[in-house]
């Protein structure tokens, strides 16, 4: 997994997600979550395919429970699309890459 996709603290979340000038797909995940690992390659591909148009970041719910709690994340993977600092789409559970791409395209 690309290190630049990982959100490491609340300030970084605010800067990279809430203050982004492009839509952002956020994957709330954990290292012990099998379905989270299963969709990781698709997320990396989407990050490259949407470069310049949208961004993809990952938030570890164990390391950042306060961020996950703020958005009501109860099950993972939970995928949220943010635009202009607001959640515009969300999906709980592993989804095929095409579904995740559709979520991002709707936000463009």
pLDDT above 90: percentage of residues in the chain: 96
pLDDT in tens, 66-93: 999 999 999 999 999 999 999 999 999 9
pLDDT, residue 46, reads 97
- Please choose, from the candidates 34, 18, 45, the residue with its C-alpha nearest in 3D space to the C-alpha of residue 93: 34
Fold of 3-107: Glutaredoxin (3.40.30)
Tell me what the mean pLDDT of segment 29-45 comes to: 97
7 in active site = no
Instruction: State the DSSP H helix or E strand holding residue 100, giving kind and residue range, or none if neither.
Output: helix 97-107
Beta strands across the sheet bearing 78-83? 55-60, 24-29, 78-83, 86-92
In the chain, what are the domain boundaries? Answer: 3-107
Contact 92, 36 (CB under 8 A): no
Catalytic residue among 33, 43, 67, 78: 33
Instruction: State the DSSP H helix or E strand holding residue 28, giving kind and residue range, or none if neither.
Output: strand 24-29
3-state SS record for 35-94:
HHHHHHHHHHHHHHHCCCCCEEEEEECCCCHHHHHHCCCCCCCEEEEEECCEEEEEEECC
Catalytic residue among 26, 36, 68, 79: 36
pLDDT, residue 4, reads 84
Q: How confident is the model at residue 15 (pLDDT cuts 50, 70, 90)?
A: very high
33 in active site = yes
């Amino acid at each position: 997994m690309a290190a630049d996709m990982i959100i490491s603290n609340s300030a970084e979340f605010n800067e990279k997600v809430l203050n982004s000038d492009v839509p952002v797909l956020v994957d709330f995940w954990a290292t012990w979550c099998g379905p989270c690992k299963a969709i990781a390659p698709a997320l990396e591909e989407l990050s490259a395919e949407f470069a310049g148009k949208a961004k993809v970041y990952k938030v570890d719910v164990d390391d950042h429970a306060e961020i996950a709690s703020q958005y009501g994340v109860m099950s993972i993977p939970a995928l949220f699309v943010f635009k202009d600092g607001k959640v515009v789409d969300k999906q709980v559970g592993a989804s095929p890459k095409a579904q995740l791409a559709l979520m991002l395209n709707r936000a463009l």
